[in-house]
Amino acid sequence: MESTRYTMAVIEGISVAVGTSEADVLYKAEQRMKRSGLHAGSLHFRLYKKSVDARKREDIRLVYSVLVSLPHGHRGFSEKQLAAAGLKPHAPAALSLPHGDRPLPGRPLVVGMGPAGLFCAYLLAREGYAPILLDRGDCVSDRIRAVETFYSERRLDTESNIQFGAGGAGTFSDGKLLTRIGDTRCAFVLETLRNMGAPADITLQAKPHVGTDVLRTVVQTMLDTIVTMGGELHYRCRLDGFDRHPDGSFTAKTTCGDIPCGVIVLAPGHSARDTYRMLLSKNVMLEPKPISVGVRIEHLRADMDTMLYGSMAGHPDLGAAEYHLSDTKGERGVYTFCMCPGGEVVAAASEEDTVVVNGMSHRARNGENSNAAIAVSVRTTDYEPVEGSLVLGAIAYQRRIERAAFAAGGKDYAVPVQTVGDFLAGDRAVCEPSRVRPSYMGGQYRLAPVSETLPAYICDSLRYGLRSFDRKVHGYAQPSAVLSAAETRTSAPVRILRGSDFCAVGNPGIYPCGEGAGYAGGITSAAVDGIKVAEAILAVYAPQ
């Protein structure tokens, strides 16, 4: 039997000097194709992926993949031919969306407008299922005003903030779309975001990002599109419970009143702690899961660019330097997370009398500082039961650190900071930040040892990690760098258990989804999980 034939293939590993034009890259791809013996004439070449190889600062390279397409009507390349030429076959990613025939007892309700909820609702709307989409927070514009009020007046809106509202926590982030999951749905996510107004290069860059300023527009466009396709939006609408009826339908109990629905998709985000408690009361099965906690570290962007790019720092082909560092040889794993080049540290609290930090950057990534989380692994054995529940104990673990940070910062939502030099020298907090100025809330901070916020074993691992990272990137642990506490929302502390049908165990019609349900970590993986849940619903039920 003849093997599958492909009309597209990927030419990988085209390494060129920084500054090489795109035309020269495509020419190199064409020459490689000719040498492979597969050149059929009239081939079309376009850039497919681009990354930076900065392992050798004295010889930084750009590495491209190029997509080659055969002319219309050509029989195509066989897998054997491509393998012999060292090329990879390429088939366009396409979603298979068969519809079931079971009648839906009501419209699907999607709880949460983060990436998982957005993509789930988008697919349901596109396929004719008229979803109802709600979020406890505000629309994008009102949410921005709520955050600005918190910054200027220290009045936290616990329903609409950096965690809750249209777009989820990702709306106030760098908008990174990098994911390590190998799922063909990732291409659909990137293409959809591009169609909604994200920069075209997100489908090219190996480490794509949108930027918070652009992502806000993308989120609003996607929500508007869902409405155009028959969806319905409810803001300032929190799910507080639900009743199940004999016909399989539900009544969702919300702060906007009762909402009848046929299925409920739970995509609440990783900070919806009251939702977890409500689910426990409804006998929905949850389990605690490991998390990571730590601090945000800030360097001058120019310093970080030089550390990673040397004399090439500032070249327009490279942009602001990115990094990811990790060490698993100590007592606990320690790693950097959510690196924001040219960004700022943001106030990400969602509960009163707590301080939580996160990172955010704009599309241009041209801020004075670069920041990243340095996070240490936390085990489920570190939790202590609350009310007999280790799930509530996991939440209490996070909350205890956040309240300690609030106290260390002076109890007015300022952030406790400490220079790296002081932290590594024995935890004294005497040096005022000078060369690197804290960016949180425009510079609202208070000097305090990290040990006032984080447990000793976390501090020990942070010191170990800083020294390890400095050996990998010389200058990383420079004394003038600044640490801000506490980074606690790296992931959900619990998982809502679901079966192979994507329904919550023992609860048909309830679909846990995304990062808040414990099945994703980041914008793209959460969006992919939302797509999977939508597919599961489509496969069972007929459209409205």
Structure tokens at 424: 């590594």
353-380 burial code (b ≥16 CB/10 A, e <16): ebbbbbbbbbbebebebbbbbbbbbbee
Task: Let me know whether 368 and 318 are in one domain.
Answer: yes
Report whether the peptide linkage leading into residue 414 is cis, meaning its omega lies within 30 degrees of zero: no
Within 13 Å of residue 477, how many CA atoms lie on the same side as its CB? 18
Task: Let me know whether 213 and 151 are in one domain.
Answer: yes
Task: Let me know whether 344 and 441 are in one domain.
Answer: yes
Residues facing residue 79 across a β-bridge: none
pLDDT tier, 88 (very low <50, low <70, confident <90, very high otherwise): confident
d(CA 534, CA 190): 17
**What values do phi and psi take at 392, rounded to 5?**
-65, -30
Task: Let me know whether 271 and 295 are in one domain.
Answer: no
User: How large is the average pLDDT for residues 275-282?
Assistant: 97
Domain count for the chain, please give it. 3
Please indicate, yes or no, if residue 325 is contained in any of the structural domains. yes
| Residue where a domain stops, chosen among 461, 487, 513 | 487
User: How large is the average pLDDT for residues 154-163?
Assistant: 96
Residues facing residue 485 across a β-bridge: 295
Task: Let me know whether 272 and 322 are in one domain.
Answer: no
- Which of 89, 27, 90, 37 lies closest to 64, judged by CA? 27
Is the CB of residue 113 less than 8 Å from the CB of residue 160?
no
| Residue where a domain stops, chosen among 43, 61, 89 | 89
Task: Let me know whether 417 and 516 are in one domain.
Answer: no
CA dist list (Å): 66 to 14, 45, 191, 318: 8, 7, 18, 19
Is the CB of residue 123 less than 8 Å from the CB of residue 267?
no
Please indicate, yes or no, if residue 97 is contained in any of the structural domains. no
Task: Let me know whether 279 and 327 are in one domain.
Answer: no
Task: Let me know whether 511 and 451 are in one domain.
Answer: no
Please indicate, yes or no, if residue 95 is contained in any of the structural domains. no
User: How large is the average pLDDT for residues 206-227?
Assistant: 95
CB atoms within 10 A of CB 136: 28
Task: Let me know whether 269 and 206 are in one domain.
Answer: yes
Whether the predicted model's global pTM rises above the 0.85 cut: yes
pLDDT tier, 73 (very low <50, low <70, confident <90, very high otherwise): low
**Structure confidence by residue, pLDDT tens digits, 282-329:** 999 999 999 999 999 999 999 999 999 999 999 999 999 999 999 999
Structure tokens at 81: 């031919």
Structural domain of 530: 108-285+498-540
Task: Let me know whether 204 and 242 are in one domain.
Answer: yes
**Structure confidence by residue, pLDDT tens digits, 478-518:** 999 999 999 999 999 999 999 999 999 999 999 999 999 99
**What length does the chain have?**
544
| Residue where a domain stops, chosen among 444, 462, 487 | 487
CA dist list (Å): 251 to 73, 118, 388, 543: 54, 21, 29, 20
Within 13 Å of residue 377, how many CA atoms lie on the same side as its CB? 16
pLDDT at 40: 57
pLDDT at 145 over 90: yes
* Least confident interval from 68-82, 228-242, 267-281, 453-467: 68-82
